[in-house]
Structures are given as C-alpha cells and as structure tokens.
C-alpha cells in the first residue's frame, strides 16, 4: 500500500506499521520533505530519489507532493482485541461505499477517542489509498476492524456489555439519550441508510435534530456529529 503526500507519509512514519521505502522527488528543496527523509533514515528505511515524472506515473491520487511511502498492506485489528478493553467507544459502518466518507470518519474518530471503527468485509469500502489520504493521517492511528458479518459482530458487541445505537431520521433525539459508558454507534450507507435487520439488533435508534428544509446529512457529517455528542456527554459526566 502506498501513502502519498507529506502529511500521510509523516503519519505512517510515526506509526508502528512497516514502511518498506520512501520515494522522493529528486533535487527537492522542500523543508518538510527533507524532514521526512531524515525520519526515514533514522528508522533505517530505504530512501530512493526519483524524477517527478516517475512519481506522477506511480501516484494514484494525483497529489503526491513529491513524496510517496510504500508500506505493507493495511493492518486490520481483531474484534476480540477491541472487546477485551475496559472502555469501548465503537463506530460501525453499515455498507458505506464512499472512500472519502470513510477517510473523514476515521479522522473524526481519531479526534473523539473512538476505540475502533468496524466495517464489513463485503459490500463496503475498505481502507485504501484514498481513505488514507482523506483521513489526513488518522488511518495510521485509528484501529479498523473488518468483520465477515456485521450483524454477528453487533450481537457479539452487545454480549460484551456495549449499548448499540443506530442512527436514523425517525429515532429519538440524540440529545435526549444517555450516550455515556460503553457505546457503539451504527452509521448507514450513503443511499439506503442502515438495514432493517441492523435496526432490529440495535438497542436504540437515535437521530440528529434538524430544523432546515433538507432532512438528511452526508454520512461522514452525521457520524461526526454523533461522535462529538458521545464525547461531549462523556466529558460532561466524567464517564469517558
């Protein structure tokens, strides 16, 4: 997997993931890139200087900024590892399809102290270069769990003492619900929202109050609003 641009490369170098080599535009004078070169060399990572045209050909995003890191494939976390922790704040994504939305959700998840983001292995976007770039480096710090069956995962999460909330338009206002303690938030896909079975498995359906003429939000925005409400309640009551 490759990480393109100064910020994603900086984050992957600071993480525990294995970086195989750093590809840098030759004759660069960019101070930020020179710092990345020094970091890579300190970690005994091979640095190769190549023409800009070579980076252009290799780039999948078109925004390499003169540096690309080649790393091992993204390392997913096991669900059991996450459920074994004392405090659990989980975000489950029900067949999200847009990599930009997943990247944005990972970025907000990192900022709000989410324990892990859980995605299904099929019918959902997985962590790729676009997700990593959109996350602005957060993908290097937020654990992502890939499960074979999201519904089975929800059952297991509930058995671990985690209260599961589904976000949907016809649910209770999130401001009237206690979101402290061990909680999991389920966010639906961009087009069809959460599935009917997912709703049935949840402990509660919650919604974001809206007063405008448009009655829906982008999936990543909705997830971000709810994540920050969980953080707010936890800080207010000293339970997170």
Q: Is the pLDDT of residue 95 over 90?
A: no
**166 contacts 186 by C-beta, under 8 angstroms:** yes
Highest mean predicted confidence (pLDDT) among 22-26, 39-43, 118-122: 22-26
Q: Is the pLDDT of residue 140 over 60?
A: yes
Structure token pair of residue 98: 């847009």
Each residue of 28-59: pLDDT tens digit?
999 999 999 999 999 889 999 999 999 999 99
CATH topology of domain 2-71: 60s Ribosomal Protein L30; Chain: A; (3.30.1330)
Q: Residue 68, Cα to own-chain centre: how many angstroms?
A: 21
Strands 67-71 and 2-4 turn out to be: antiparallel
In order of 120, 122, 152, 231, the CA distances from 113 in angstroms are: 21, 26, 24, 8
**184 contacts 92 by C-beta, under 8 angstroms:** yes
Rounded distance between C-alpha atoms, residue 185 and residue 208, angstroms:
13
Its pTM stands at 0.77
CA atoms within 13 A on the CB side of 128: 11
Q: What is the pLDDT of residue 130?
A: 87
Residue 89: strand, helix, or coil: strand
**Residue 193, beta-bridge partner list:** 189
Residues of the chain with CATH 3.30.1330.30: 2-71
Rounded distance between C-alpha atoms, residue 160 and residue 87, angstroms:
11
> Among 11-15, 158-162, 176-180, which is the least confidently predicted range?
11-15
Pick the CATH number of 79-236 from 3.20.20.70, 3.40.1280.10, 3.40.1280.30, 3.30.70.2740: 3.40.1280.10
In order of 44, 81, 156, 201, 203, the CA distances from 159 in angstroms are: 44, 15, 5, 12, 12
Each residue of 176-223: pLDDT tens digit?
999 999 999 999 887 777 888 999 999 999 999 988 777 778 899 999
Residue 40: strand, helix, or coil: helix
Residues of the chain with CATH 3.40.1280.10: 79-236
In order of 89, 161, 218, the CA distances from 234 in angstroms are: 11, 17, 25
Average pLDDT, the chain: 92
Binning pLDDT at 50, 70 and 90, where does residue 236 land?
low
Each residue of 60-80: pLDDT tens digit?
889 999 999 998 778 899 999
Q: What is the pLDDT of residue 216?
A: 74
């Amino acid at each position: 997997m490759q990480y393109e641009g100064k910020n994603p490369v900086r984050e992957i170098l600071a993480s525990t993931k294995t970086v195989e080599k750093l590809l840098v535009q030759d004759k660069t004078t960019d101070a930020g890139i020179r710092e990345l070169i020094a970091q890579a060399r300190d970690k005994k990572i091979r640095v190769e200087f190549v023409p800009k045209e070579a980076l252009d050909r290799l780039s999948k995003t078109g925004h390499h900024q003169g540096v690309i890191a080649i790393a091992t494939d993204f390392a997913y976390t096991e669900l059991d590892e996450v459920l074994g922790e004392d405090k659990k704040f989980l975000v489950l994504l029900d067949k999200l399809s847009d990599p930009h939305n997943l990247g944005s959700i990972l970025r907000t998840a990192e900022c709000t102290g989410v324990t892990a983001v859980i995605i299904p292995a099929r019918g959902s976007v997985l962590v790729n270069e676009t997700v990593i770039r959109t996350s602005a480096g957060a993908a290097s710090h937020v654990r992502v769990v890939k499960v074979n069956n999201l519904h089975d995962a929800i059952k297991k999460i509930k058995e671990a003492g985690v209260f599961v909330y589904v976000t949907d338009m016809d649910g209770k206002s999130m401001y009237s619900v206690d979101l402290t303690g061990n909680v999991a938030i389920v966010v639906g896909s961009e087009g069809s929202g959460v599935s009917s079975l997912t709703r049935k498995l949840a402990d509660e359906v919650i919604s974001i109050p809206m007063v405008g003429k448009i009655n829906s939000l982008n999936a990543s925005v909705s997830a971000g609003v709810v994540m920050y409400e969980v953080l707010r309640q936890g800080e207010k009551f000293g339970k997170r």
